[in-house]
Amino acid sequence: MTSLNANALDRVIADLPRRYPGPGGAVAVVKDGVPIVRHGWGFANLETRQPYTPATIAPLCSITKQFTCATLLDVAPDPAVLDPLIAAQLPRLEGEKPTTLDLANNQSGLRDYWALSVLCGAMPEGAFRPADAVHLIGLTRSLHFRAGTAYSYSNGNFRMLALAVEQASGRAFGDLLAERLVGPAGMETAVFGPETGALPGGATGYEGTVSTGWRPGINRLHWAGDAGLCASLDDMIAWERFIDRTREDPDSPYQRLCRPPATFRDGSPAGYHLGLIRRARWGRAMSGHGGAIRGWRLARHWVPSERLSVAIAFNHESDSFGAAMQVIAAALGESDRPAPSVASAAWGFAGSFLDERTGLLLEVAVNADGTLAATYDGGAEPLSVGEDGVARGLDMTLTRQVEGILIERPGDAVRMLARPLARPHEPGVGAAMAGLYRSAELESEMEIVDAGGSWFAGFRGFLGAGPMMALTPVGEDVWRLACHRSLDAPAPGDWTLRLSRSASGAVTGARVGCWLARDVAFDRTGG
């Protein structure tokens, strides 16, 4: 077990408000079952001048997913007994349906319902009710990969799990979670709050930056299972101490989540299992999860070999995962900086590439230090190019090949070739694509507009008429559709829009996708 680097840890903790500027935040470090850092700074509410302290209650957002899965295992030790209840929520899906464990492992192949809400006309600050979730999930006719064969993050998976648990037990999911987990863990102020517009405790999450100023992030969602637990940093300390206290008990909730091997159907290892992300860093296994909604970013991670846990909450949109890794690195005497990169070889990766199997863009830029910023799953990942010419990051490896770039993400079961895109010919790059398109599966409409040479697309569906979003050409008949604000946060990011044409060259449709919701077909209905 590594000796704690107390001086480095103190420096990093003191630097967090400067490196991740925002209205407020809090951080906790638990070592050997003892909280050694418990620190808050700034304001939980700028308007009321309420300070941010370790007792401030925040929405844990997707950190809830581990609690959902632990509750699931308590109610249904054999999750397969819930499979019929899961299948019943997908009445239009033909063929093989995902299992309960496929959902809990984010291997269902179901597109993320928050991402799909954009294609169904949701406004970023619109309302989303339980009936909307049932309807949107119930529209599903297809999967974007066969269940159990790959990974894709899908919030709807966990909403469906919570509903199945309620139906099987005859009890409200929030009551079960409180009784089976929150109470035994000693999380004294934690509550289940599925209404994001009515968070307990008076804290506010903020959008914006130091330069633009901060404004309250407005959320009007109802969520359950994928999120919903609200807790203070002190509650998270209690959760980490409970994990440490029961670490040798194979039947304890967290050990039941961690002990089974994470695999895909073919037996290959997976990086996500039962509401927890598993990865190795600095030669040590760790598990944890992040959380986000507009105005909030959170993270908690556990390094079992070191009996070390870190939890961070920001009421702004800074990189909570990066902050957590920085704190863990300091405590262990490691570096969170990318490995040195061969700058001369880095430029061979720069450009835009299309993964034709998923329909997603890979975009690679070279940073000032010679590392790469590769965007494939919605966020930019730093990679370093080694002497062997291979670019490696925490979750992804890129290898130059004659035909393009080979993308490897073993924890996601991704091994894809992305081919380079040539810039489209100017002018008139979007000629003849303006018009209306319809998705039969989502029962929604997309409109593409040429606004005086500036291109936009917007969606209309059962959730309303959403905002127009900018379209930028990336390659011949390949466009980037910007989406940086949506019902959920972080937003899906840039969508990839690929046009299809008839033999005569007329635009007949488009396929729209992002990492969370791939390859959604829209047929052209009018010019």
Q: Catalytic positions, please?
A: 62, 65
Question: Within 10 A of 335 (CB to CB), how many other CB atoms are there?
Answer: 11
Question: Within 10 A of 224 (CB to CB), how many other CB atoms are there?
Answer: 24
Q: Is 36 helix (H, G, I), strand (E, B) or coil?
A: strand
* H helix runs in 105-262, sequence order: 113-119, 130-138, 155-169, 173-177, 183-185, 233-245, 253-258
Question: Within 10 A of 116 (CB to CB), how many other CB atoms are there?
Answer: 27
Q: Is 12 helix (H, G, I), strand (E, B) or coil?
A: helix
| Alpha carbon distance 141, 521 (integer Å) | 12
Query: Where do we find the tokens 């961070």?
Result: 312
Token reading at 400: 């130059």
Report CA torsion sign: 224, 226, 232, 236.
Answer: positive
| Alpha carbon distance 10, 29 (integer Å) | 11
| Alpha carbon distance 244, 32 (integer Å) | 7
Counting beta carbons within 10 angstroms of the beta carbon of residue 357, is it exposed (0 to 12), middle (13 to 18) or buried (19 or more)? middle
Token reading at 162: 């919570």
For residue 498, give the DSSP letter.
E
Token reading at 215: 């404004």
CA atoms within 13 A on the CB side of 489: 27
Q: Is 376 helix (H, G, I), strand (E, B) or coil?
A: coil
| Alpha carbon distance 413, 144 (integer Å) | 14
**Residue in 439, 430, 511 with CA at minimum distance from that of residue 472:** 430
Check if the beta carbon of residue 65 is closer than 8 Å to that of residue 226.
yes
Counting beta carbons within 10 angstroms of the beta carbon of residue 95, is it exposed (0 to 12), middle (13 to 18) or buried (19 or more)? exposed
**Residue 312 vs residues 128, 199, 210, 433: alpha-carbon distances, Å:** 27, 18, 20, 46
